[in-house]
Copies of this chain bind each other. A is one copy, B any other.
Amino acid sequence: MTNSATNLRLKLPMACIILEVIIIILFGILVQYDDETDAKLWHKEIANGSSNYDNDFYYRYPSFQDVHVMIFIGFGFLMTFLQRYGFSSVGFNFLIAAFALQWATLMQGFVHGMHGGKIHVGIESMINADFCTGSVLISFGAVLGKTSPVQLLVMSVIEVTLFAVNEFIVLSVLGAKDAGGSMTIHTFGAYFGLMVARVLYRPNLDKSKHKNCSVYHSDLFAMIGTIYLWMFWPSFNSAVTAHGDDQHRTAMNTYYSLAACTLATYGLSAVVAHDGKLDMVHIQNAALAGGVAVGTAGEMMLTPFGSMIVGFLAGTVSVLGYIDITDTNIQKLKIQDTCGVHNLHGMPGVLGAIVGAVTAALATKDVYGDGMADVFPDIHSGEVEASFQGVRQAISLVVTLGIALLGGLITGFILKLPIYGAPPDTICFEDGIYWELPGEEGSHEELTTVRTPDEAEKLNA
């Protein structure tokens, strides 16, 4: 099932070890504990009257762990729906996430500002690194089953770098708000990945078509991913917002958006699916669109009412997106989007950006009070009008789309080089090409042989 082209004995070790050695060297040169993780510096703050209980660890770490679960369990298991790609879904997700969070720490550190030539790390950099990783995993969803782990690592190197640049432009240069990353994470990751998938288009992918589908238990494993993403999305969107009402409100807005989105998803799934039945693809994916769509506006005074409307719309758009995925996408645009990231992250991300722009443009001192300083510091300080903040948000969406598409295009061509051990068209969506698979004969005998009643009784005797 493999041949020398897809043998990873040299390629993967070289990629992993060279990248890790580079990272370690750069960490040695550039990375330092921040004020809250350094023994000496923190105890200076203690000497100046701080309490250990003021350490930001206690106000961010629970959110961080929820985000961590979304990245490693959520994304990893969501992609196990394929019948024979569970090892790769969870395993490559694990690999590229472990890589990307290190690389992101460096890239975000470079771009967002060094402190005396050093990158300072603490709980916020850990959350931001996981966020960037999430974006890479979204792109992974678009090319799932058709790429080697070496390609994925190379993609991560480039995507993380461009993510950091785009995030810097959006948040620091343009002054937009995007705490939950409707634009910087979801829109960016989705369109980057879709463009990569476009460049890597395989006209003969239908040779692996029989493996590009789920089986009963693989769909249940995928539901583990879905439910974890759904539950912890409030933590994701609120993980880096300002402390106090901001985190509290963001979590709650996201919770309501997701709940409304779920009802829309079930309702519409029964409308559009075959024979009035529910389709697992919708439930696994579209029910999450509500979290994506309040990624920008969640920290604003969107109200529970507004959050539910946004969630309801996001679920609707997402389910409808899955209808013609095979036809339109593959045949017309030649984008083979394995997980349908356009429907889960792309369209809902754009929706979230627009909702954010509108909500920002409508911000008034009357509604936000002094809380304006946390949500829209530039409006609070009088530097900009609310309407202009809305314009900034809209421009940020355009910039994000531009960088994502252009970056994906270039990355796609780099990944097209025939040196990474990509699978041939005939064995896509198949773990056996990169993983030693457990023998199945033994298992077969144990698990599935029809036993005569006598044999069964003896077994249970």
Please, what's the 1-or-0 string for A57-74, where 1 marks a CB less than 8 Å from any CB in chain B? 111011001101100110
> Are A367 and B259 in contact, with the CB atoms below 8 A?
no
Q: Which of B16, B27, B283, B443 contacts A263 (CB 8 A)?
A: B16
Contacting pair A443 B55 (CB below 8 A)? no
For the complex, is A117 an interface residue (Cβ under 8 Å from B)?
A: no
In the complex, chain B residues whose CB is within 8 Å of the CB of A207: none
Residue-wise, chain A 80-93 has the 8 Å CB interface mask toward B (1 for contact) of: 10011011001100
How far is A24 from B76 in the complex, measured between Cα atoms in Å?
33
Chain B positions within 8 Å of A91 at CB level: 223, 278, 280, 283
A275 at the interface (CB under 8 A from B): yes
Residues 25-69 of chain A: 1 if any B CB is under 8 Å from the residue's CB, otherwise 0?
001100111001111111110110000111111110110011011
Contact yes or no, B20 A55, CB < 8 A: no
Does A333 sit within 8 A of B, measured CB to CB? no
A417 cross-chain contacts in B, Cβ below 8 A:
none
- Please judge, given known A-B contacts A42-B371, A54-B53, A305-B24, whether A69 and B441 are in contact too, CB under 8 Å: no
The contact of A276 among B10, B86, B267, B438, by CB within 8 Å, is B10
Q: Please report whether the interface of chain A is mostly helix, strand, loop or mixed according to DSSP.
A: helix
- Contact residues, A267-313 vs B (CB, 8 A): 267-268, 270-271, 273-280, 283, 287, 301, 303-305, 308-309, 312
Q: In the complex the two chains form, is B68's CB within 8 Å of A231's CB?
A: yes
Contact B27 A251 (CB under 8 A): no
Residues in B with CB closer than 8 Å to A373 are 43
- A12, B95: Cβ atoms closer than 8 Å: no
Residues of B within 8 Å of A246, CB to CB, are 39
In the assembled complex, A126 has its CB within 8 A of some CB on chain B:
yes
Q: Which of A232-278 contact B (CB under 8 A)?
A: 232, 235, 242-249, 251-252, 255-256, 258-260, 262-264, 266-268, 270-271, 273-278
CB neighbours (8 Å) of A277 from chain B are 2, 7-8, 434-436
CA distance in complex: A33, B306 (Å): 12
For residue A102, CB closer than 8 A to chain B, the reply is: yes
Is the CB–CB distance between B86 and A280 below 8 Å? no
Nearest-neighbour CB distance to chain B for A339, whole angstroms, equals 15
Flag whether A192 is at the interface (Cβ < 8 A): no
Cβ–Cβ contact A219 & B55, under 8 A:
no
Size category of the A interface is 35 or more
- Chain B neighbourhood of A227, CB < 8 A: 72-73, 76, 90, 94
Q: Per-residue 0/1 for A429-456: is the Cβ within 8 Å of any B Cβ (1 yes, 0 no)?
A: 0001011111111111111111101001
Q: Looking at the complex, which one of B102, B149, B210, B260 makes contact with A442 (CB distance below 8 Å)?
A: B210
Chain B residues with CB below 8 A from A448, complex form: 440, 444, 447-448
Is A115 located at the chain interface by the 8 A CB criterion?
A: no
Chain B residue nearest to A264 (CB atoms) is: B20
Q: Is there a chain B Cβ closer than 8 Å to A110's Cβ?
A: no
Question: Which interface residue of A47, A309, A373, A441 has the most chain B CB atoms within 10 A?
Answer: A441
Residues of chain B within 8 A of A38, CB atoms compared: 245, 249, 301, 371
B-side contacts of A86, CB under 8 Å:
216, 220
CB neighbours (8 Å) of A73 from chain B are 224, 227-228, 231
> Which residue, A255, A304, A372, A432, has most C-beta atoms of chain B within 10 A?
A304
Q: Are B31 and A305 in contact (CB under 8 A)?
A: yes
Contact A16:B264 (CB < 8 A) given known A53-B59, A231-B72, A249-B38? yes
Contact with B along A384-427 (1 / 0, CB 8 A): 00000000000000000000000000000000000000000000
Q: What are the residues of chain B within 8 A of A99 when measuring CB–CB?
A: 259, 262-263
**A332 located at the interface, meaning its Cβ lies under 8 Å from any Cβ of chain B in the complex:** no
The reply to whether the CB of A221 lies closer than 8 angstroms to some CB of chain B is yes
Give bound CA distance, A43 to B368, whole Å. 9
The 8 Å CB contact of A2, one of B72, B217, B461, is B461
Q: Are B7 and A252 in contact (CB under 8 A)?
A: no
Ordered by A's residue number, 29 sampled pairs between the chains whose C-beta atoms are within 8 Å are A9-B270, A9-B271, A12-B266, A20-B260, A24-B260, A33-B304, A37-B245, A39-B374, A40-B367, A42-B248, A46-B244, A55-B247, A61-B251, A65-B66, A68-B231, A76-B227, A91-B278, A94-B227, A99-B263, A102-B256, A210-B442, A215-B438, A215-B447, A218-B438, A275-B461, A277-B435, A436-B460, A440-B447, A441-B450
